[in-house]
């Protein structure tokens, strides 16, 4: 897998289109500050596709998200200070989410099959040929 620096990653002609040396980028981009990895993301054909991870100064994961052709897809986890957010996305639609502060649930959300978000997921799956 080709790995490049975040500084080498170019934004394409359309939003969320990523390039390297003028071509759609496939591989992994990384951002390193003071010798420490602070961010990395996988790309396929110019799209975020795979995992994007952000690290704190001690190398701990503070945020991770999965993507499918630029759509948030799968798990999202964020841990900052005393807050933790865990969410699930399906092709860019927030399916469920839970936020905790000091271990106590302060927010909980989940769509049901009658919601417009659920219908959007089904339409995107059909359009993209995803099962």
pLDDT at residue 5 tops 90: yes
The contacts of residue 128 (CB under 8 Å, 6+ apart) are: 69, 91
pLDDT at 125: 85
Average pLDDT of the chain is 91
Q: What is the pLDDT of residue 96?
A: 93
Q: What is the pLDDT of residue 85?
A: 96
106-124 pLDDT tens trace: 999 888 777 777 788 888 8
Determine the Cα–Cα distance for residues 104 and 29; give it in Å rounded to an integer.
Answer: 35
Given a cut of 80, is residue 78 above it in pLDDT?
Answer: yes
| pTM: predicted TM-score of the whole model, two decimal places | 0.85
Distance CA(81)–CA(62), nearest Å, equals 9
The full set of domains in the chain, from first to last, is 3-128 (2.20.110)
Q: Each residue of 30-57: pLDDT tens digit?
A: 999 999 999 999 999 999 999 999 999 9
């Amino acid at each position: 897998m080709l790995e490049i620096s975040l500084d080498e990653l170019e934004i394409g002609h359309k939003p969320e289109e990523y390039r390297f040396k003028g071509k759609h980028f496939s591989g992994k981009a990384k951002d390193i500050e003071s010798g420490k990895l602070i961010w990395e993301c996988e790309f396929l054909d110019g799209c975020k596709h795979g995992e994007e991870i952000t690290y704190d100064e001690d190398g701990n994961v503070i945020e991770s998200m999965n993507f499918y052709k630029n759509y948030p897809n799968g798990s999202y986890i964020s841990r900052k200070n005393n807050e933790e957010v865990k969410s699930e996305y399906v092709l860019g639609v927030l399916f469920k989410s839970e936020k905790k502060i000091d271990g106590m649930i302060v927010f909980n959300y989940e769509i049901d099959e009658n919601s417009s978000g659920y219908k959007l997921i089904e339409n995107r799956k059909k359009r993209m040929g995803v099962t």
